[in-house]
């Protein structure tokens, strides 16, 4: 569904450029949607850093707070990812 906010694509360094050109025509490989999210992207990290300071780096509390504040951005973030940081 292209109308949804695709956080994984937005968090890539050059999400607007080359992928549109490689669409399966003229021998270009058809590109799929991004699956992995770069949580260190400045758009996302500023919220994560704020939650970490506010909730003393508790992964479970941070994830639940981020999901409440920004449900579209952090719906795929889980406590296991934050625990590894």
Q: How far apart (Å, rounded) are the C-alpha atoms in residues 73 and 65?
A: 12
State mean pLDDT over 48-55: 94
Q: How many domains does the chain have?
A: 1
Dig out the tokens for 62 from the structure.
């941070």
Residue 76 belongs to some domain of the structure: yes
pLDDT band, very low/low/confident/very high, at 7 (cuts 50, 70, 90): confident
pLDDT band, very low/low/confident/very high, at 3 (cuts 50, 70, 90): very low
Residue 47 belongs to some domain of the structure: yes
**Half-sphere exposure of residue 82: CA atoms within 13 angstroms, side-chain side:** 22
Residue 1 belongs to some domain of the structure: no
Query: What is the extent of the structural domain holding 70?
Result: 7-83
**Half-sphere exposure of residue 54: CA atoms within 13 angstroms, side-chain side:** 13
Q: Does 69 have pLDDT greater than 70?
A: yes
pLDDT value at position 14?
61
Residue 2 belongs to some domain of the structure: no
Residue 45 belongs to some domain of the structure: yes
pLDDT digits (tens, 9 = 90+) for 21-37: 666 666 666 667 667 88
What lies within 8 Å, CB to CB, of 51 at 6+ separation is 62, 65, 66, 69
Q: Identify the residue whose tokens are 């906010």.
A: 5
Residue 30 belongs to some domain of the structure: yes
Reported pTM: 0.64
């Amino acid at each position: 569904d292209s109308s949804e906010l695709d956080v994984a694509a937005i968090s890539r360094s050059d999400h607007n450029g080359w992928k549109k050109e490689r669409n399966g025509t003229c021998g270009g490989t058809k590109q799929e949607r991004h699956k992995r999210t770069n949580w260190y992207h400045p758009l996302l990290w500023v919220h994560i850093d704020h939650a970490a300071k506010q909730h003393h780096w508790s992964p479970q509390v941070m994830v639940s707070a981020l999901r409440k504040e920004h449900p579209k951005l952090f719906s795929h973030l889980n406590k296991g990812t934050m625990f590894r940081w």
